[in-house]
Structure 1
Amino acid sequence: QNQAPGPILRTSTDLIHALQDIDAATKPHTDTYTAYQQAYSPWDDGNATTRVVDALLEDQG
């Protein structure tokens, strides 16, 4: 089962066409991307540095 979070682009031409209208290329894949992110990278939320600093400071006492 294909779980890629976006369109499968097999050639440079496919990539060029997708980039020319990025909104049209990505919009149909929004739900797929969200499901992929939740399954494979749930910690990828933009707060990694905060969590690291909090963990370091917590260890300091």
Structure 2
Amino acid sequence: MDHPDCHGGIADLAGLLQRVLCMFRMPGELDEAFAPVMPSVTNARLRLLLDAVHAHFAEHH
């Protein structure tokens, strides 16, 4: 199966997620920083999304 967005958009997303997680080393820091403007953005959700991207690349590429 061809995944045209994987090596562009999805790979870029993984990089952005990794940068955000590195900027906020402690889960509570990220959650607290985003709570006022984007409460759905949490450390746990970003890690889950990044894990899904990594799993996809490991399985399909």
> If you compute each CA radius of gyration, which structure gives the higher value, 1 or 2?
1
Greater RCO (CA < 8 Å, at least 6 residues apart): 1
Higher-helix-fraction structure: 2
Task: State the TM bucket, normalised to the shorter chain.
Answer: under 0.3
The two structures have a TM-score, normalised by structure 2, of 0.25
- Structure 1 length as normaliser, TM-score? 0.25
